[in-house]
Amino acid sequence: MQTTTETHYLELVGDIYDAALDAEKWPDILQKFAQFMQSSKAVMFTNLHLPSQGGFYFTWGIPQAISQQYFDHYQPHDVWTNVGIQRGIFLEGNVVLGTELVPHQQYLESKIWRELLSQADMARLCTGVIFGVDNLLAMPVGVSLFRGLNEPAFNEADRQKLQRLLTHFSRALGVMFQLRDADLKIASSRTALDGLRSGVLLLNAQAEILLANQAAQRILQQQDGLAMSESNGLKALHTDTQSAIQQTLQTCLKRDLIEVPHFSQSITVSRVSGKSPYQLFFSRLPDHNDFVAQPASPLAMVFITDTEQPLKVSAQLLKNTYGLTEAEVKLAQQCLVNDTMPALTAALNVSENTIKTQLASLYQKCGVHHRAELMKMLMALATD
């Protein structure tokens, strides 16, 4: 007769193989995986390749802001990974405990714990190598579990449980790398949108909604000023607002824009409930982007912010993580509430040329290339 633990193990293995055919399932599987391993957080990602370098990551229980800062700034300070590479530990099939890499007290004194991972209470590590640096056919991929400072340390029993699962992870991912590598990266990018508190829509050339993150789905389902039309478009309940949305989308989707491509007109959407209005921000996407395998779809991203609960980004966080100047911090913060060049110049009391110069520096320091990426990054770091 199977024990409850063995039953859960077999169910988890079945779910892992299901993900070989549907990369969108990985976040749910990581949740089940973490619960099976009695951990509060889990991540599966390409250890040595950032998402901007073709890598991917899926998380459960880790705030989006922590992931964003890790990839943008703190990966070089990851003492666990650095020591593992130095010692040649990250070989396929290995399972390593954090204390085997760095003594616990030394980790608690490290920069990455003090400045970043302490915010999410990621104090203890158990990591498995799905594909190691010795694999010639796939990027190195690891799956890691975390427990908090006051939770039990990982032990030999945890190592053995993860060891049993690694083979199944490798087989499922191996299928994806062989058959649908692009789908894996796309699913990773789309999943990241669900971590944002603001609504995000991806639209194609016909202004049809291809994807709505969880926040956008809640907003559209409420039909409090905004909804999804029968033709899968964005529909405002007031005629004049709907006309403004259509005109803005037509401008945003044009290929021959003379206007700076990362700015387009924002729209205020009044709500039937009488609550503070929504603010819509529109950005054209490059023909090749992170969200689909084929070029030219989607072509636009719409951000829906709730002016009743405005998002804010810590000035100190932007300075410490990205090395922004005071002027660049003010510009970044204004980008969350103003999206046209006239609005920004008026809010900051500087010239258009100054804004363009500061934007170029802001993009370079934050590692982004266009307005949609900047907004996504800022929303990941924002607080209510």
Read off the pLDDT band of 111 (50, 70, 90). Answer: very high
Range of the domain at 276: 195-381
pLDDT at 359 over 70: yes
Could you give the CA distance from residue 373 to residue 208 in angstroms, rounded to a whole number?
21
Could you give the CA distance from residue 141 to residue 384 in angstroms, rounded to a whole number?
34
Read off the pLDDT band of 126 (50, 70, 90). Answer: very high
Read off the pLDDT band of 145 (50, 70, 90). Answer: very high
Do 179 and 265 lie in a common domain? no
Read off the pLDDT band of 164 (50, 70, 90). Answer: very high
Whether residue 383 contacts residue 271, with contact meaning beta carbons closer than 8 Å, is answered with no
Q: What is the mean pLDDT of residues 10-14?
A: 91
Do 16 and 140 lie in a common domain? yes
Least confident of 60-64, 203-207, 260-264, 321-325: 260-264
* Distances in whole angstroms, Cα of residue 329 to Cα of each of 22, 108, 115, 313, 371: 39, 30, 19, 9, 15
Q: What percent of the chain has pLDDT over 90?
A: 39
Q: What is the mean pLDDT of residues 364-380?
A: 82
Could you give the CA distance from residue 33 to residue 59 in angstroms, rounded to a whole number?
11
Do 145 and 9 lie in a common domain? yes
Residue tagged 């770091």 (tokens): 381
The 3-state DSSP class for residue 202 equals: strand
* Four-point Cα dihedral 171, 174, 175, 177, nearest 10: 160
Of the three residues 160, 192, 224, the one that is the final residue of a domain is 192
Do 120 and 153 lie in a common domain? yes
pLDDT at 39 over 90: yes
Of the three residues 192, 207, 229, the one that is the final residue of a domain is 192
pLDDT for the residue numbered 260: 38
Do 219 and 304 lie in a common domain? yes
Of the three residues 157, 192, 227, the one that is the final residue of a domain is 192
Question: What string of DSSP letters covers 61-74?
Answer: SS-HHHHHHIIIII
Please state the φ and ψ torsions of residue 238, each to the nearest 5 degrees. -105, 135
Q: What is the pLDDT of residues 280-315, one digit of tens each?
A: 888 777 665 555 545 447 788 888 988 777 777 888
CATH at 253: 3.30.450.20
Question: What string of DSSP letters covers 95-129?
Answer: EEEHHHHS-HHHHHTSHHHHHTGGGGT--EEEEEE
pLDDT for the residue numbered 281: 84
Mean residue pLDDT across the chain: 85
pTM: 0.68
CATH at 156: 3.30.450.80
Query: Token digits for 205?
Result: 């050339």
Q: How many folded domains does the chain comprise?
A: 2
Whether residue 122 contacts residue 153, with contact meaning beta carbons closer than 8 Å, is answered with no
Do 238 and 337 lie in a common domain? yes
Do 363 and 245 lie in a common domain? yes
Nearest to 53 by CA among 72, 69, 26: 72
Do 200 and 238 lie in a common domain? yes
Residue tagged 């905004």 (tokens): 226
> What is the rounded end-to-end Cα distance, in angstroms, of the chain?
50
For the chain, the residue count is 384
pLDDT at 1 over 50: no
